[in-house]
Chain A
Amino acid sequence: VSALSVSAKAANRASGVPWLAMAGWLALFAALAGAPAVLDQYFVEIGFKFLVFCVLAEAWNLMAGYCGLVSLGVSSFFGLGGYVAVGLLNNTGLALAPALAVAALWAAGMAAIVSRALFRLRGLYFTVGTLALSEALRLFVINAPFFGGATGLVLRGDPPDAAALLRDATVAFALATLVMTAATRSRFAVLLSAVRDDEDAAAQVGVRAFRIKLAVFAAASALVATVGGLQAVKLGAIEPYGSFGLQWSVDALTVVVIGGIGMRLGALVGAGFVIALGELLADYPEAHNAINGVILVVLIRFAPRGLCGLIADLARNLRRPRGEKSA
């Protein structure tokens, strides 16, 4: 993991209240919550997509960047969230928020169930196992008789308007930020990096690696399911190919690797970059995906800490007095 990870500096910085960072986050959420009132429809749509990517990426970064769980099973929980949310909205009188909460809990429970099998797999094999899980879930949903097969389910009743959805997505992102802050600026952060860097050594000194990984996996899955449910409600219909499609896992990984894996702002920066590039190339979605792949390959090779890492290095070099060469 060493090539792609940063040291546990976060834990050392945890002392003292980071007023500036808190003010920054609050300003961001206020701006996002107020945005639908002033922006036109196009930017509200983009904002929703941006926030969905942010939450997916925060969840993936928590797993891969901070805990070493490189998952390609994001789409399992994204699809699960969508199906649970639509099922509840259609068949019970539940409102959107509680339906999403149940979907999140459901996903966390599902994560706990599959963790027994998946956590026996280390490193690469875990990645392959998560990929198999999402494909197995998709095939199950297509073939089992009660999910509407390959056509999927249609949301009864009207979906909420775009502005309301943007506010809901902002709340989801705020929750993701809370989870990330709790996980990366507390004693838990030290446990996380111990498990990530050497699980066996961590276990030797008394860290309960299985529980740490399970906590991270369940929290990340709950976040993913929440936005999965939101996306399903936004579309008004779900079908297994889109909901359980590998593309959601691809997006999460791409955003984080571009933004900076294991960097606190990696998800935000990466999501901004990927969404902006996607809009520039909106008429050529395949070219956009291929370019994302090229950027991915180049960044992993030359800037393993992504755009955030590049910016941090640049800032450090500028601050350094002239004549002193950077290492």
Chain B
Amino acid sequence: VTLAPAAPRVAGLLVCGCAMPSLEVIASTLVSGVLLGGMLGLTALGLSIVLGVMRLVNLAHGGFLVVGAYAGFVLLARTGIDPLIGLPLIGLGMGLVGYPLYRLLLAPFAGKGPEASLMTMFGVSIIVENLLVLGFSADTRSIDRAYATTALTVGPISMPQIYVIGFCISVVVILAVHGLIAHTAFGRDLRASADDPGAAAVVGVDLARVHALTFALGAAAAGVGGTLMGVAFSFTPSTGPSYLLNDFAIIVMGGLGNVLGTLVGGIVIGVLQSLGGLTLGDGYRDLVGLVLFLIVLTFRPQGFLRGRVG
């Protein structure tokens, strides 16, 4: 059983650690890294806002992403609906699951220290992973779409078409969530709860409701991001932890709870991973992100960008 995400299925991009890659290869790697980074940013969005608003480390976040990938897989297999068309549906479904999940499992621990919720979500991640194995077996799955395996060539630069699609969708979703948090009444309550829960409660913000909705929003974002990753890469029920660790690396780069920061952090990680894969060999891609994560946590735990919701 492998935890590492599978290599991109696009032919022609798996560059071995050759002595001196050509300029075209370097340029293609950088562009692909930026595009992949945008998608990675979306996968980290849910983890980031949940951590930023209620100081909850959702260890089941990787599981949520994998559920999103399987949701896209099932949607295509059962109804024939293209997973990208079904994205709003998957997001809505995940949000509808996330809301009662928070009310039932996590709300009782509000204000009682972080360990209990952390371990509860760890329990949930174990349950999710094993239910997926029971339902779909531990085999590697992929979502078969023509656009997932074709390359797009612009001049000398070639990149996977799905990276371009995924990047655009991710940027739209991240901007939409940013707009929601920055410009709506719910967003105002959310920012208030993140800044000072006590003061927010005093002026009439229903903390339990805001937290549950934030958690649902995080789950919905994870569903959409997970589906995109499922279209671009193959996945297994136990892919969750490696997604999760990647996302942690992204949010410490982008700042905890900083919505636009997850996009920046994602792009940084995407580029560094692609460069790491190019220079050290493909097996080192994920190691680059992890090592960077540990270094950043050690020297600058608050992240590079300002860690603030909004």
Chain A interface residues (CB < 8 Å from chain B)? 1-4, 70, 72, 116-117, 120-121, 123-125, 127-129, 131-133, 135-136, 138-140, 142-143, 241, 245-246, 250, 253-254, 257, 286-287, 289-290, 292-294, 296-297, 300-301, 304
Contact = CB atoms under 8 A, between A and B. Distances in A.
B305 to A, nearest CB: 17
Contact of B134 (A241, A286, A293): A286
A294 B127 contact: yes
A116 B112 CA distance: 29
B297 A131 contact: no
Contact of B119 (A133, A143, A253): A253
Chain B interface mostly helix, strand, loop or mixed? helix
A125 B297 CA distance: 8
Nearest to B256: A125
A140 B185 CA distance: 47
Interface residues of B, number: 46
Contacts of A4: 113, 115-116, 119
A128 B112 contact: no
B192 to A, nearest CB: 22
Contacts of A120: 297-298, 301
B88 interface: no
Interface stretch (B89-97, B151-159, B217-225, B286-294): B286-294
A186 to B, nearest CB: 25
A2 B111 CA distance: 11
B179 interface: no
Contact of B131 (A116, A139, A290): A290
Contacts of B293: 132
A138 to B, nearest CB: 8
B126 A296 contact: yes
B283 interface: yes
B287 A294 contact: no
B242 A3 contact: no
Nearest to B121: A297
Contacts of B150: none
19 contacts: A120-B297, A125-B301, A127-B57, A128-B297, A132-B293, A135-B245, A139-B4, A143-B281, A241-B3, A246-B3, A253-B119, A290-B127, A290-B130, A290-B134, A296-B120, A296-B122, A297-B124, A300-B119, A301-B105
Given A131-B245, A139-B284, A253-B122, A70 B115 contact: yes
Given A72-B122, A132-B245, 6 more contacts: A123-B114, A135-B3, A135-B290, A143-B284, A292-B126, A294-B123
B116 A3 contact: yes
Nearest to B293: A132
A121 B108 CA distance: 26
B294 A117 contact: yes
B118 A127 contact: yes
Contacts of B290: 132, 135-136, 139
| A4, A132, A142, A287: residue with the most chain B Cβ atoms closer than 10 Å | A132
B248 A142 contact: no
B57 A135 contact: no
B140 interface: no
B2 A1 contact: no
Interface of B: 1-4, 55, 57, 105, 108-109, 112-116, 118-120, 122-127, 129-131, 133-134, 241-242, 244-245, 248-249, 281, 283-284, 286-287, 290-291, 293-294, 297-298, 301
Contacts of A121: 297-298, 301
B294 A133 contact: yes
A289 B122 CA distance: 12
Contact of B287 (A124, A127, A143): A143
A249 to B, nearest CB: 9
Given A301-B108, A304-B116, A129 B2 contact: no
Contact of A129 (B108, B127, B294): B294
A214 to B, nearest CB: 16
Contact of B291 (A72, A136, A142): A136
Contacts of B55: 124
Nearest to B240: A246
B119 to A, nearest CB: 5
B282 to A, nearest CB: 9
10 interchain residue pairs of minimum CB distance: A293-B126, A296-B123, A293-B127, A290-B130, A297-B123, A143-B283, A117-B298, A289-B130, A136-B290, A139-B287
Contacts of B287: 136, 139-140, 143
B130 A139 contact: no
A138 B301 CA distance: 24
Nearest to B241: A246
A290 B284 contact: no
A263 B112 CA distance: 20
Contacts of B286: 135, 139
A109 B276 CA distance: 29
A293 B3 contact: no
Given A290-B131, A293-B124, A241 B2 contact: yes
Contact of B115 (A3, A250, A293, A294): A3
A300 B123 contact: yes
A293 B294 contact: no
Contact of B130 (A116, A246, A293): A293
Contacts of B245: 131-132, 135
